[in-house]
Amino acid sequence: MTSTNGSREPCKLTSKGQATRARILEHAAELIYTNGVHATNNEQLRRAAGVSGSQLNHYFPTKESLVLAVIAWQAERVLTFHRGERFAHFDNLDALRAWADFYVGYERAYQEGCSLGSLASEIIKTDLDVHDELASAFDQWRDIFRDGIERMQQVGRISPEADPPRLATLLLAAFQGGMLLSQVARDIAPLKDALQTAIDHVQTFATSPDAGVIAPGTGGGVHEAAERLDREGVGGGQGQLLSR
């Protein structure tokens, strides 16, 4: 995602420096998720990341610069996950279903929630000037779905009457809202119902019953990839669910 002055990685970092910065960001994301922005302080972060005060100040001289970098870091993990080959760029209904099945099938989904959504809900309560960066992250996520739906139109899988931006917003809103309700209920059913309903609505624009389905052997193994991810499991800990 596009960097800002606050989140731009320092120039000419060594491999060790890059690793240190990444470690700080990972622990900062965890602490912010667990304790909140205001309750997360430098001392906690130094202990968690195993760095000195001078190291922390070198990479992140202000709290705002740290929060901006955490947003960029977390968003990049989410976006990379969704842009991967495993969901076939979301240009068919099978890919959307495989995406939904992956999250519904993950047993700790309702406990961990969405890493980026949880981060956003915490940060927007503060007076930090980071709203544009959060909006950009979600815009890029939504655009991944929009691009896939536009490709469905281009190849004739769904009707030209479909509105890709609106459908993309629906998919992302169904995920975020369903995940939140599942966390509250401690039950995956709200997420499952929300995603299924959203994808069913996309399917109403299909040009034929099988227009959005990949023929066997031609789809890059979308279902096989989802099954493989389920077998491998997803690493525990906040921020891992959307980061694989």
pLDDT tens profile 34-57: 888 888 899 999 999 999 999 999
- pLDDT band, residue 212 (cuts 50/70/90): low
Give the integer Cα–Cα distance in Å for 99 and 135.
Answer: 22
Confidence of residue 88 (pLDDT cuts 50, 70, 90): confident
Per residue in 132-155, pLDDT (tens digit) is 999 999 999 999 999 999 999 999
Residue with structure tokens 């525990």?
A: 236
How far lies 63's CA from each of 17, 66, 77, in Å? 19, 5, 21
**What pLDDT is recorded for position 227?**
47
Residue 8 has pLDDT above 80, yes or no: no
Q: What is the pLDDT of residue 128?
A: 82
| Average of per-residue pLDDT values in the chain | 83
CA distance 187 to 109: 9
> How far does the chain reach from its first CA to its final CA, in angstroms?
17
Whether residue 244 is predicted with pLDDT greater than 50 in this model: the reply is no
**The pLDDT of residue 211:** 62
**Residues 102-121: tens digit of each pLDDT:** 999 987 777 788 889 988 88
The predicted pLDDT at position 231 comes to 43
- Two structure tokens written together for 96: 């959307």
pLDDT at 36: 81
Partners of 206 in beta bridges: 158
Q: Smallest Cα–Cα separation from 42: which of 57, 20, 23?
A: 57
Q: Which two tokens stand for residue 242?
A: 């959307």
* pLDDT digits 0-9 by tens, 154-185: 999 999 999 999 999 999 999 999 999 999 99
Q: How confident is the model at residue 214 (pLDDT cuts 50, 70, 90)?
A: low
Confidence check: pLDDT of 216 > 70: no
